[in-house]
Structure 1
Amino acid sequence: MSDQISEITVTEVAEVLANLRVKLMRIFIIIAIVWGISFATLSNVIIEKIKMDLLPEGAELIYQAPLEVMMLRLKISIILGVVVALPYIVYLTYQTLKERTELLSNIELTRARVIIYASLAAILFISGVAYGYVLMLPLFLQFLYESAQGQGVLAMYSISEFISFVVMMLAVFGLIFQMPLFMYVTVKNGLARLDTFKYYRRHFYIIFFTLAAIITPPDVFTQLMVGVPMVLFFEISLIIVKIFA
């Protein structure tokens, strides 16, 4: 009997690992394809666009290593690959938890719902990137440049650090703008109650501004530019959930 149990267990583990390997291979293929296309076509365009739109007038970008721009292009391409693969990663995570646990037993994702949720997530992500690119980052980078000038310091940024910072902040805002969709799906499918979010409102505020302090330089202006949108989107999310969920 024990030999049979061990044989069944080994077989199940082998099946799980084989299934996991196939899924990981698919994710890797998606990231690799997007990475290759982005590296060949988009990475230079993104770098030049950011330099033209967001570099404060009078500031300069410098190279600190011979391969700095090449590594920067690789980094941007990988980030784009992960962003494109993220919906599939979320779907695989949902599918795995659905099959192996009871955590998501209340959630039934039809093809129509997947399309709707994916479309809304893409719209919200693009809206967050647009907010960061058009409103937040120009003000913030100009503020830092003027602060450096006020101290009599020349603003000379490493091209890798400057572009990487901009891309990271845009990704953060894209994720922040997912909050209404996340809360709607959570409440709609019974994973949490609306009253719970309301009860812990102050705690969420503290978390938001703590995150803002972690991911931004240590000045109040920048932290407000990141933390306030989180608070606003939390309150907007509560209204959306109350109306629709």
Structure 2
Amino acid sequence: MSSSDPERPDELEGTEQPFVSHLVELRDRLIRAIAAVAVCFAVLALWPGPSAMYDLLAAPMVSHLPAGSTMIATNVISPFVVPLKITLLAAFLVALPVVLYQVWAFVAPGLYSHEKRLVLPLVVSSTLLFFLGVAFCYFFVFGQVFKFIQSFAPKSVTAAPDIEAYLGFVLTMFIAFGAAFEVPVVVVVLARMGLVSIEKLQAFRGYFIVLAFVIAAIITPPDVVSQLALAIPMCLLYELGIVAARMFIKHTRAPDDASEKTPAA
């Protein structure tokens, strides 16, 4: 039976709320999300503290500096502001599951059951993939990149990176790798919305490989290590996205679409 059948009740019928109620709920959800970030910031500010948070972030760079070299601050307030920025960023990442849950709780009442089966896994998987991209960048890419760069540094030059410049570099790399690891989610969404078929995604494989290396060359520093570290995972994740798209299309089909596939008794 099709969902357009007048005898079949709409599962969202009667769930409509006044516009003011939506605004009130949106306000409450925003307050809870901000409160979660604030609590995480307060906890991280107390332990391990902003200074320790920066030391942890700078560890991959410091470990590859020449003996006796340290990072410097060219701005008077940088030693105070930069660690606070890093603590706030870490607090947001820690509270991200709560923030995304508030987003999900706000939009879920307006979704059909088959749409919920699509959105919730995408929210969870996109969060995990972003964290995975950031972790991959921090634990693997940074060490290899800084080692590669320092190997080319002239002996007459003493490396002493500025802490603000380092923070900007780290944020750029985190966003680049976090976004790159979202490739499977983008592929699934495009395929599920019917914008691109699985066959076209497979045919586009060769072009995507070239596109991945072009993006890596633009975003990452001009070294082979970081470019390969970004482009290769993107290509592998593209293949993973094609496989995931097949599964999502099969298991998140609307009831009327599913009924069309089922022969009448």
1:136 corresponds to which residue?
141
* Structure 2 residue 177 is the aligned partner of structure 1 residue 173: yes
* SS at structure 1 position matched to 2:161: strand
Q: How much has 1:41 moved relative to structure 2?
A: 1.8
2:31 corresponds to which residue?
25
The C-alpha deviation readout for 1:110-142, integer Å capped at 9, x for no partner, is 9xx959974x66654554344223321111112
Residue 115 of structure 2 aligns to which amino acid in structure 1?
A: I
Q: How much has 1:28 moved relative to structure 2?
A: 1.0
RCO higher in structure (CA 8 A, sep ≥6):
2
Residue 193 of structure 2 aligns to which amino acid in structure 1?
A: L
**Which of 215, 231, 237 is residue 241 of structure 2 equivalent to?**
237
Q: How much has 1:211 moved relative to structure 2?
A: 3.8
Following the alignment from structure 2 to structure 1, what is the Cα–Cα distance between the partners of residues 108 and 86? 33
Q: How much has 1:12 moved relative to structure 2?
A: 3.9
**Which of 155, 165, 175 is residue 161 of structure 1 equivalent to?**
165
1:106 corresponds to which residue?
114
Q: How much has 1:223 moved relative to structure 2?
A: 2.5
* Structure 2 residue 59 is the aligned partner of structure 1 residue 57: no
1:35 corresponds to which residue?
41
Q: Rg larger in 1 or in 2?
A: 2
Indicate the percent of aligned positions where both proteins have the same amino acid. Answer: 24
Contact 2:180 2:234 (8 Å CA) reproduced: yes
Q: Name the Cα RMSD after superposition.
A: 3.8
Give the TM-score of the pair, scaled to structure 1: 0.70
The C-alpha deviation readout for 1:127-159, integer Å capped at 9, x for no partner, is 434422332111111222233327x43322012
Residue 68 of structure 1 aligns to which amino acid in structure 2?
A: S
Contact 1:179 1:237 (8 Å CA) reproduced: yes
The C-alpha deviation readout for 1:28-75, integer Å capped at 9, x for no partner, is 111111122222324333322344443213153111123212211221
Flag structure 2 segments of 5+ consecutive residues without an equivalent. 1-16, 251-265
1:45 corresponds to which residue?
52
Contact 2:183 2:237 (8 Å CA) reproduced: yes
Residue 108 of structure 1 aligns to which amino acid in structure 2?
A: K
Normalized per residue, which structure has more helix?
1
1:5 corresponds to which residue?
none
2:81 corresponds to which residue?
71
Give the TM-score of the pair, scaled to structure 2: 0.66
Contact 2:33 2:102 (8 Å CA) reproduced: no
Contact 1:128 1:176 (8 Å CA) reproduced: yes
Flag structure 1 segments of 5+ consecutive residues without an equivalent. 1-10
Contact 1:47 1:163 (8 Å CA) reproduced: no
Residue 38 of structure 1 aligns to which amino acid in structure 2?
A: L
Following the alignment from structure 2 to structure 1, what is the Cα–Cα distance between the partners of residues 189 and 211? 19
Following the alignment from structure 2 to structure 1, what is the Cα–Cα distance between the partners of residues 106 and 218? 32
